[in-house]
Amino acid sequence: MIVHWYSKANMDTLNQENRTEFGFQWHITNRCNLRCTHCYQEDYSGSNELDIDGLKQIADEIVRTLAKWGKQCDIAITGGEPLLKEGVFPLINYLESFDEIASVDILSNGTLINEGIVEQIRDLKKVRCIQISLDGASVESNDAIRGKGTFGKALTSIRLLRKSGISVNIMFTLQRRNVRDILSIIDLAVAKGVSSLTIERFVPTGSGAKIRDELLSPEEIKRVFGYISERAEQEINRGGLTSISRSRPLWVMCNRSSLGADMTDNDATGGICSIGLDGLCILPDATVLPCRRLPIPIGNLKDDSLLKIWHTSDLLWEIADKRNLKGKCNSCEFITRCSGCRAMAYACTGDYLAEDPQCFK
Amino acid sequence: MSEMEKRIGQLKKPKFRNSSELSTEQLNDPDFRLKQLEKLNKGKTTITCSKCHHCR
């Protein structure tokens, strides 16, 4: 049986009946009004981007492939800043017209959302969640990473979206300079009533390669994951509405069952990377990546069909076969429930099959 | 050019396996790799990455 684990609070919007079977993270533009220090992009020019007609052709290719597979998908529309793309709402309307597309999320930096935009989002039929990035729990810490004024704008966006009943996920990229904010960002997410908070490890790729010192050591990661886990459990126990996501590689080691207890359905910590298993990333010029933070092209939808990429990409076969992993990942008891972050391995060592350099096992 | 730079240079060009290297199932079943992993994991697989929008 294939099980997609969702945290308790996420089940409100992602119940078992609604669960989708494939995920695309689709970067429709690389233009952005921000220059966050840890960004995985380096090029913000918008050159070689597809226009809306070109993007619709990509949508058609996605739908044709899903129809052949008998699957549905979730598409996360992002950028750059997706709200800078002319025609983003007509594109989402177009996506919503296909049965094969079950839901759409919008991943935004939250600086351009106003009442007019919220109105347009509310009119969409399949939008499940809007993700807003925050990298600090205060003006000082957030704006030092994301730019002046971004904290206030992001909070205003969250307030407008919540006021309209739209689900919000906060994305926080964990790095040395914001590690002290970890508990206060959880408090903030809970206080703002967002559905979920995702805390993701910083991967030094793209512009972020210049700030490699921001990487936390395995011991530091272990300690921080411990704090997050404890706080997440408190939220679950008090029936809180905000889910604190612990569903990525390495988290399995904070799982109760990993500590000797029997695994239960509520024991939803940990998750294997989905490269080659159930998702792909598409860039603005139709280049396909295994994951946005693993910048190795595996095809381009202008030249290669999705079927060709999914079924014959050498890299996807290589990574999905976990027996190919090296170092301590290879002999790890959690290999089929974790397998480390391949993007982190590549960014730190140049070898995407190497062990996860932040693993604390 | 270092070995590392050479290797990264080679990775810029997508590499596809020849259909003759792959079985009919591998060429047609989109869940083939997932099922292989499931077998390794005694029937249960935890997939979450594409649901969490981690990349921002």
pLDDT of residue A273: 84
A70 three-class SS: coil
Cβ–Cβ below 8 Å for B51 and A1: no
Residue contacts between A and B (CB atoms, under 8 Å):
158
Burial A139-166 (b: 16+ CB within 10 A, else e): eebbbbbbbeebbebbbebbebbbeeeb
A201 three-class SS: strand
* Residue A198: strand pairing partners: A171, A245
pLDDT of residue A259: 52
Distance from CA of A239 to the nearest CA of B (A): 21
User: What tens-digit pLDDT sequence spans chain A (361 residues)?
Assistant: 333 333 333 333 333 444 458 999 999 999 999 999 999 999 999 999 999 999 999 999 999 999 999 999 999 999 999 999 999 999 999 999 999 999 999 999 999 999 999 999 999 999 999 999 999 999 999 999 999 999 999 999 999 999 999 999 999 999 999 999 999 999 999 999 999 999 999 999 999 999 999 999 999 999 999 999 999 989 989 999 999 988 788 988 886 555 555 554 445 567 788 899 999 999 999 999 999 999 999 999 999 999 999 999 999 999 999 999 999 999 998 888 889 999 999 999 999 999 999 999 9
Radius of gyration for chain B, computed over Cα atoms and rounded to the nearest angstrom: 17
Looking at the complex, does the CB of residue B17 fall below 8 Å from at least one CB of chain A? yes
Q: How far is CA A47 from CA A77, A282, A290, B13, in A?
A: 19, 15, 22, 20
Burial A217-248 (b: 16+ CB within 10 A, else e): eeeebbebbeebbebbeebeeeebebbbbbbb
Cβ–Cβ below 8 Å for A350 and B53: no
Cβ–Cβ below 8 Å for A198 and B47: no
Tens of pLDDT along A287-317? Answer: 999 999 999 999 999 999 999 999 999 999 9
pLDDT of residue A5: 31
pLDDT of residue A16: 40
Tens of pLDDT along A84-108? Answer: 999 999 999 999 999 999 999 999 9
- Quote the tokens at residue A55: 């993007």
Looking at the complex, does the CB of residue B8 fall below 8 Å from at least one CB of chain A? yes
Question: Which of left, alpha, beta for A279 (phi over 0: left; psi -120 to 50: alpha)?
Answer: beta
| Residues 6+ positions from A235 with CB-CB distance below 8 Å | A9, A186, A190, A242, A243, A244
Distance from CA of B3 to the nearest CA of A (A): 10
